[in-house]
Amino acid sequence: MASVLVAGLLRATPAQVAVLHKQAPEFVRNDLSGKKVDLNAYRGKVVLLNFWATWCGPCQVELPHFAAWQKQYGPAGLQVIAVSMDDESTSVRPVVRKLKLDFPVVMGDEKLGILYGGVLGLPVTFLIGRDGKVNERIEGGADLKALESKIKQLLAQR
């Protein structure tokens, strides 16, 4: 599992590596329904922060799993937040409905991408621990088994 999770790190730029094991860059955005999403408000939870786009094939494979995990592990403290890197929200809403994504989906921008070391390929997933630190950066389609296992591990940490 470790090798799979580290694989993304080996390909990362220095700016992307710099984000790891530090406090997750703070952001506040409105989700697609206009509700405020403040990353700080989720401190104490394990946050799965996923950058995706409607035109990204591997993203569409992962997202339903993340939705299922939100249901399954939400009560234990998991919060999924998705950041769409689409240029416009009009194409995002139908996909969110179709995939039944029952977690906050916000629109990304250049600033947010750079804040997280540069989102220069999709998908990219960050796992943020209860302490607010970035625990993992997974680039490309994640090994879902390994990722779920890591989530459980982080949820077990109090």
Of 6, 13, 26, 30, the one binding another protein (CB under 8 A) is: 13
The only residue of 37, 47, 49, 85 in contact with another protein, by rule CB under 8 A = 85
- Give the nearest distance from C-beta 65 to another protein in angstroms: 17
26 binds another protein (CB under 8 A): no
Measuring CA to CA, how many Å separate 45 from each of 4, 31, 89, 141?
Answer: 24, 19, 27, 23
Instruction: Give 38 or 110: the residue with its C-beta nearer to another protein.
Output: 110
Closest CB 93 distance from another protein, rounded Å:
16
Candidates 6, 22, 30, 57; binder of another protein (CB under 8 A) is 57
Alpha-carbon distance 37 to 18, whole Å? Answer: 24
Which helix (H) or strand (E) covers residue 8, if one does? helix 2-10
Q: Are strands 78-84 and 134-139 parallel, antiparallel or unpaired?
A: unpaired
Q: CA 85 to CA 97: how far, in whole Å?
A: 17
Selection from 124, 147, 152 nearest residue 46 by Cα: 152
Among 25, 140, 146, 153, indicate the residue that binds another protein (CB under 8 A).
140
Distance (Å, whole) CA 2 – CA 107: 30
Q: Taking CB under 8 A as the criterion, which residues in 88-127 touch another protein?
A: 108-110, 113-114, 118-123
Please give the residue ranges that form the binding site for another protein (CB under 8 A): 11-13, 16, 53, 55-59, 85-87, 108-110, 113-114, 118-123, 139-140
